[in-house]
């Protein structure tokens, strides 16, 4: 299977600009990140033959930092899950150094964990989503995967920051990544959520304890904490994300762009035929769930929103007493076949999706190089992105020294 | 059984902001189809809506003019339904947290009694695209014009406080006057920049409960609003008298048949908080700035006109109903025109002339100074009222001074007794039978002969002098 759906061939663009923080770094992006003139179908037939009209906010920022945009990888339909994704594969095959991936449930971090590299999801709202063809606006963000955490910092320094075209960005000061290399991480306390542990098999737990030694040798104290509503994180994520996805995908009607089914007798049939043929099974199932909560069970949606607000508070309270939460990034045991149902898709991200629901930054740190792929998942306070990445660098350095 | 009507109105008003609500496209729905569009209002993937500050300001002005309380935080919801006129699959509107609540409008009731009609809330929303269905030809097609998609609207939802078609029409008229005053909306039902939907139910007189209501749409004038409501009250009364239940549904007013007919049920979807458009947070300082932009409103202005310019209550009300007219009246008075004379000429001659032309005052070259100069020519008897009317019409078309127009057109009044004497000689000589008739006692003939003489003077004779001389000569 082709790794790239589009490759940059313009020699001027390929060389990138010298002498800048990301000079010489090749970045692979996904075809839902608008790059003027590149095919931009978000992995869906709904956007068949669609070409981006203008650059996403991150594109000129990356270019200004000297990065070379290598091309578009394959992605799962509308960025939901990892079933068809080849973005990190481009890094494994040395075709790129840094991957930008849509992270809605934890896609960037889980893909990085499987590849044994670093994966980062910034605090919600610190990178302009202008030009990102998204699905779940209140949770999705640009995730970054790279073998070297310094590359992640470099990308974050380039792409984060205010943009007056994305009004959903928070007021006030955003994280400063420019000083990150010098940031003192200090003594830190990390909490393990007791309720999370019960989701792991003995084998997962064993690997997790092995990986935790990394933190110990970096001077991070690990304590056990409780998050009684931990299981609700997934439910709330699923209900709200499905409803938002249903709204976001409402624009794919075949009227203005994308796939339009031929031969319909009236506009209603045209809608049904076009949408029926445009979406794959998994996305369709997800949109159905969303439409169910919108049209048939709005009370459940409202409930999920209330629960979410409570979970955000719980998470913030936990993190006010700690510096980090720590868990594996994913579980060891997983089915070989790509999940074809929504529940199966969610199962893969059960440990990463809390940060998407409640908005914190989170970092996947590769585990023991001897070969497990569960990784260590660190969640920090909102907007504490820079310190989290600094810790990631220290962990990488100590790993390298071993 | 005696029934009482319970009427509530939902009024959509297009704000006249320069751009659409969430993008920089011109707010000109009437332009060549799909000319005023961009990735945001066509909802291309990756686009982001950005609330227009001007639209928000105009909406807030409108809410203030309707005595509403601006909410410190308001937010947009997605009204979800699928239709080709809706590029997103939802319409951005404010359902859960509207911009303003609890306003009112004062009107005079059927018998002149003061009535305060409450407004439940006002919210901001974007308009949808326009669909053109072409059924002619081999394959019927539907065309979509997105010029209107995303243009800024406010929806004003009243409490069910109205009890008669009269009250509903007065509510709309007053509301329109208030909004036009703020300069934030044109409010033309004919042009579709104001759309009124009425909810009507009946109940036993004296009871306070609410019964099943019927919604009536598609009225294109204030008169039609009254007629449609009156029709609906009659229809529902007949239903109740026949023992038929009233069913919740929507009806369309047919202005030709002058009746309402049921329309196919429109699916109404859910309203879901939008995760992408930022909430509107209004602080007191900014609100005060907008309050400062609120002009003197009609009620207060009418009271001042009565006091400052000695207008009767009716004259004062007429002069303050529309903001441009009120400004014009006041400027004319300040330029030296006698206030009551100016008010009279504006109401009787100028306003109808503007209506005939379908033009607003600002679209004509007429200035208050030139209008005052015209009245002064009349006052000084340099021209007579008939000529003054002629000159006024010309002032609407050219920017020459009234003096110049009078001179060029020879409108100067003839007050020369000798000249008028000669004229009357001729008229008397040419109408011996009528003269004899008058002398026999038929007084009406004087008016007839006056008309002939005035015509002979090409309308320029000083009418007072002409009548005096004529009466004396016939005497
Ligand atoms: Zn636009």
Tens digit of each residue's pLDDT (9 = 90 or more) over A242-298:
999 999 999 999 989 999 999 888 888 999 999 999 999 999 999 999 999 999 999
Contact at CB, A251 and B87, closer than 8 angstroms: yes
Ligand 1 centroid, distance to B35 Cα (angstroms): 10
Q: Is the minimum CB–CB distance between A349 and chain B shorter than 8 Å?
A: no
pLDDT at A402 over 60: no
pLDDT band at A174 (very low <50, low <70, confident <90, very high): confident
Mutate which of B24, B40, B45 to disrupt the A interface (most A C-beta within 10 Å)?
B45
pLDDT at B430 over 70: yes
| Distance of residue B27 Cα from the nearest chain A Cα, in angstroms | 20
Q: Is the minimum CB–CB distance between A253 and chain B shorter than 8 Å?
A: yes
Domain A4-231+306-400: top CATH class: alpha beta
Q: Is A220 left (phi over 0), alpha (psi -120 to 50) or beta?
A: beta
The token pair at A124 is 């919600």
Contact at CB, B269 and A298, closer than 8 angstroms: no
Contact at CB, B89 and A249, closer than 8 angstroms: yes
Contact at CB, B278 and A256, closer than 8 angstroms: no
Q: Is the minimum CB–CB distance between A162 and chain B shorter than 8 Å?
A: no
pLDDT band at A218 (very low <50, low <70, confident <90, very high): confident
Contact at CB, B272 and A129, closer than 8 angstroms: no
pLDDT at position A44, please? 96
Name the residue with higher pLDDT: B53 or A169: B53
Q: Is the minimum CB–CB distance between B352 and chain A shorter than 8 Å?
A: no
| Distance of residue B95 Cα from the nearest chain A Cα, in angstroms | 14
Mean pLDDT score, A370-385:
86
pLDDT band at A16 (very low <50, low <70, confident <90, very high): low
Q: Is the minimum CB–CB distance between B210 and chain A shorter than 8 Å?
A: no
pLDDT at position A301, please? 96
pLDDT tens digits for range B293-336: 999 988 889 999 999 999 998 899 889 988 889 999 999 999 98
pLDDT at B58 over 90: yes
pLDDT band at A72 (very low <50, low <70, confident <90, very high): very high
pLDDT at A64 over 60: yes
pLDDT band at B378 (very low <50, low <70, confident <90, very high): confident
Q: Is the minimum CB–CB distance between A23 and chain B shorter than 8 Å?
A: no
Q: Is the minimum CB–CB distance between A256 and chain B shorter than 8 Å?
A: yes
Per-chain residues with Cβ under 5 A from ion ligand 1? B 23, 25, 38, 40-41
Of B46, B88, B275, nearest to A133 by CB-CB distance is B46
A:B CB pairs within 8 Å: 86
Mean pLDDT score, B431-435:
86
pLDDT at B410 over 70: yes
User: Which chain A residue shows the shortest CA-CA distance from B279?
Assistant: A168
Pick from A181-185, A228-232, B427-431: least confident: A181-185
Q: Is the minimum CB–CB distance between A255 and chain B shorter than 8 Å?
A: yes
Contact at CB, B43 and A256, closer than 8 angstroms: yes
User: Which chain B residue shows the shortest CA-CA distance from A134?
Assistant: B46
Mean pLDDT score, A319-334:
88
Q: What rounded mean pLDDT belongs to chain A?
A: 91
Contacting residues of A for B280, CB less than 8 Å apart = none
Q: Is the minimum CB–CB distance between B88 and chain A shorter than 8 Å?
A: yes
pLDDT band at A8 (very low <50, low <70, confident <90, very high): confident
CA distance B352 to B318: 13
pLDDT at position A324, please? 95
| Distance of residue A216 Cα from the nearest chain B Cα, in angstroms | 40
Return the half-sphere exposure (C-beta side, CA atoms, 13 A cut-off) of residue B78. Answer: 28
DSSP E strands: which ranges in A106-149?
A: 118-121, 141-146
pLDDT tens digits for range B277-298: 889 999 999 999 999 999 998 8
pLDDT band at B399 (very low <50, low <70, confident <90, very high): confident
Of B43, B272, B274, nearest to A251 by CB-CB distance is B43
Of B48, B87, B272, nearest to A243 by CB-CB distance is B272
Ligand 1 centroid, distance to B25 Cα (angstroms): 4
Contact at CB, B142 and A301, closer than 8 angstroms: no
Contact at CB, B84 and A253, closer than 8 angstroms: yes
pLDDT at position A153, please? 95
Q: Is the minimum CB–CB distance between B53 and chain A shorter than 8 Å?
A: no
pLDDT at A335 over 60: no
Contact at CB, A168 and B278, closer than 8 angstroms: yes
Ligand 1 centroid, distance to B21 Cα (angstroms): 9
Ligand 1 centroid, distance to B149 Cα (angstroms): 8
pLDDT at A336 over 60: no
- The percent of residues above 90 in pLDDT, for chain A, comes to 74
Mean pLDDT score, B172-195:
93
pLDDT at B351 over 80: yes
Name the residue with higher pLDDT: A329 or B471: A329
273-312 of B, contacting A, C-beta below 8 A? 273-278
203-242 of A, contacting B, C-beta below 8 A? none
CA distance B309 to B321: 16
Considering the entire predicted model, what is its pTM? 0.85
CA distance A178 to A161: 12
Q: Is the minimum CB–CB distance between B44 and chain A shorter than 8 Å?
A: yes
pLDDT at A80 over 70: yes
pLDDT at position A332, please? 75
pLDDT at B57 over 90: yes
pLDDT band at B270 (very low <50, low <70, confident <90, very high): confident
pLDDT at position A322, please? 93
Name the residue with higher pLDDT: B126 or A265: B126
Of A132, A165, A301, nearest to B50 by CB-CB distance is A165
pLDDT at A19 over 90: no
Q: Is the minimum CB–CB distance between B139 and chain A shorter than 8 Å?
A: no
Contact at CB, B46 and A298, closer than 8 angstroms: no
Mean pLDDT score, B165-193:
93
Cβ atoms of A386 and A180 closer than 8 Å:
yes
Q: What rounded mean pLDDT belongs to chain B?
A: 90
Closest to A222 (Cα-Cα) out of A233, A209, A231 = A209
SS3 of chain B:
CCEEEEEEEEEEEEECCCECCCCCCECCCCCCCCCCCCCCCCCCCCCCCCCCHHHHHHHHHHHHHCCCEECCEECCEEEECCCCCCCCCEEEECCCCCCEEEEEEEEECCCCCEEEEEEEEEEEEECCCEEEEECCCCCCEEEEECCCCCCEEEEEEECCCECCHHHHHHHHHHHHHHHHHHCCECCCCCCCCEEEEEEEEEEECCCCCCCCCEEEECCCCHHHHHHHHHHHHHHHHHHHHCCCCCCCEEEEEECCCCEEEECCCCCCCCEEECCCCCCEECCHHHHHHHHHHCCCCHHHHHHHHHHHHCCCHHHHHHHHCCHHHHHHHHHHHHCCCCHHHHHHHHHHHHHHHHHHHCCCHHHCCCCHHHHHHHHHHHHCCCCCHHHHHHHHHHHCCCCCCHHHHHHHHCCCCECCHHHHHHHHHHHHHHCHHHHHHHHCCCCCHHHHHHHHHHHHCCCCECHHHHHHHHHHHHC
Structural domains of chain B in order of their starting residue, each with its CATH number:
3-286 (no CATH), 298-409 (no CATH), 417-474 (1.10.10.410)
Q: Is the minimum CB–CB distance between A131 and chain B shorter than 8 Å?
A: yes
pLDDT band at B6 (very low <50, low <70, confident <90, very high): very high
Provide ipTM, 2 decimals: 0.90
pLDDT at position B81, please? 87
pLDDT at position A13, please? 66
Mean pLDDT score, B197-218:
90
Contact at CB, B272 and A257, closer than 8 angstroms: no
Contacting residues of A for B39, CB less than 8 Å apart = 53-54
Mean pLDDT score, B91-97:
95
């Amino acid at each position: 299977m082709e790794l790239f759906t589009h490759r940059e061939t313009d020699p001027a663009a390929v060389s990138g600009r010298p002498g800048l923080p990301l000079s010489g770094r090749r970045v692979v992006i996904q075809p839902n990140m608008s790059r003027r003139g590149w095919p931009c179908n978000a992995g869906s037939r709904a956007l068949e033959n669609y070409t981006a009209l203008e650059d996403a906010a991150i594109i000129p920022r990356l270019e200004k930092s000297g990065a070379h945009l290598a091309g578009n990888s394959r992605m799962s339909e509308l960025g939901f899950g990892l079933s068809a994704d080849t973005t990190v594969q481009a890094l494994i095959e040395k075709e790129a150094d840094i991957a930008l991936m849509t992270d809605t449930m934890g896609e960037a971090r889980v893909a990085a964990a499987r590849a044994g590299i670093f994966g980062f999801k910034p605090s919600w709202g610190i990178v302009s989503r202008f030009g990102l063809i998204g699905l779940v606006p209140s949770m999705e963000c640009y995730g970054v995967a790279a073998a070297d955490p310094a590359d992640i910092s470099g990308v974050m320094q380039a792409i984060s920051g205010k943009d007056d075209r994305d009004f959903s960005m928070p007021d006030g000061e955003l994280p400063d990544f420019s000083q990150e290399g010098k940031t003192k991480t200090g003594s830190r306390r990390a909490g393990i959520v007791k309720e999370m542990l019960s989701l792991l098999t003995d084998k997962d737990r064993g690997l997790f304890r092995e990986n935790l030694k990394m933190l110990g040798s970096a001077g991070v104290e690990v304590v056990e904490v409780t998050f009684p509503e931990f299981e609700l994180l997934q439910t709330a994520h699923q209900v709200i994300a499905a409803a938002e996805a249903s709204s976001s995908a409402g624009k794919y009607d075949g009227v203005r762009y994308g796939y339009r089914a031929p031969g319909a007798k009236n506009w209603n049939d045209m809608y049904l035929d076009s949408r029926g043929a445009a979406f794959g099974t998994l996305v369709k199932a997800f949109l159905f769930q969303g439409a169910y909560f919108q049209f048939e069970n709005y009370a459940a949606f409202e409930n999920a929103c209330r629960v979410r607000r409570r979970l955000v508070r719980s998470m913030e309270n936990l993190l006010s007493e700690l510096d980090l939460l720590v868990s594996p990034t994913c579980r060891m045991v997983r089915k070989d076949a790509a999940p074809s149902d929504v529940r199966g898709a969610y199962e893969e991200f059960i440990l990463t999706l809390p940060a998407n629901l409640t908005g914190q930054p989170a970092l996947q740190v590769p585990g023991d190089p001897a070969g497990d792929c569960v990784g260590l998942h660190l969640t920090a306070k909102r907007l504490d992105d820079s310190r989290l990445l600094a810790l990631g660098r220290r962990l990488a350095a100590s790993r390298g020294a071993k | 059984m005696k029934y009482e009507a319970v009427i509530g109105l939902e009024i959509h008003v297009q704000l006249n902001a320069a751009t659409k609500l969430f993008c920089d496209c011109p707010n000109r729905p009437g332009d060549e189809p799909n000319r005023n569009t961009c990735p945001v209002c066509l909802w291309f993937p990756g686009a982001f809506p950005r609330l227009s500050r001007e639209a928000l300001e105009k909406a807030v002005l409108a809410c203030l003019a309707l005595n509403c309380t601006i909410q410190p935080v308001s937010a947009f919801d997605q009204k979800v339904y699928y239709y080709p006129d809706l590029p997103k699959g939802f319409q951005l509107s404010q359902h859960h947290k509207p911009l303003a609540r609890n306003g009112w409008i004062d009107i005079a009731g059927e018998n002149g009694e003061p009535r305060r009609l409450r407004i439940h809330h006002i919210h901001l929303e974007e308009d949808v695209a326009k669909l053109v269905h072409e059924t002619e030809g081999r394959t019927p097609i539907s065309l979509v014009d997105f010029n209107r998609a995303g243009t800024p609207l406010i929806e004003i939802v009243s409490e069910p406080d109205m009890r008669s078609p009269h009250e509903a029409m007065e509510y709309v008229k007053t509301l329109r006057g208030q909004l036009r005053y703020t300069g934030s909306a044109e409010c033309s039902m004919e042009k579709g920049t104001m759309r009124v939907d009425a909810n009507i139910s009946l109940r036993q007189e004296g009871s306070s409960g609410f019964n099943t209501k019927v919604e009536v749409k598609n009225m294109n004038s204030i008169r039609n609003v009254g007629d449609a409501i009156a029709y609906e009250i009659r229809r529902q009364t007949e239903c109740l008298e026949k023992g038929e239940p009233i069913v919740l549904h929507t009806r369309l007013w047919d202005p030709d048949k002058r009746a309402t007919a049921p329309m196919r049920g429109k699916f109404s979807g859910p309203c879901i908080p939008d995760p992408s458009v930022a909430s509107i947070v209004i602080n007191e300082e900014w609100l005060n700035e907008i309050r400062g932009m609120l002009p003197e409103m009609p009620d207060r202005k009418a009271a001042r006109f009565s006091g400052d310019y000695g207008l009767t209550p009716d004259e004062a009300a007429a002069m303050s109903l529309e903001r441009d007219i009120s400004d014009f009246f006041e400027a004319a008075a300040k330029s030296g025109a006698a206030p009551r004379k100016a008010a009279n000429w504006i109401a009787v001659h100028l306003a109808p002339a503007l209506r005939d032309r379908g033009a607003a005052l600002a679209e004509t070259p007429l200035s208050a100074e030139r209008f005052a100069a015209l009245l002064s020519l009349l006052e000084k008897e340099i021209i007579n009222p008939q000529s003054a009317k002629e000159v006024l019409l010309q002032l609407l078309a050219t920017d020459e001074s009234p003096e110049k127009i009078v001179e060029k057109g020879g409108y100067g009044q003839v007050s020369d007794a000798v000249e008028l004497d000669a004229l009357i000689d001729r008229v008397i000589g040419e109408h011996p039978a009528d003269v004899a008739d008058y002398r026999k006692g038929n007084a009406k003939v004087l008016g007839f002969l006056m008309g002939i003489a005035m015509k002979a003077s090409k309308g320029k004779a000083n009418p007072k002098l002409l009548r005096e001389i004529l009466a004396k000569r016939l005497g």
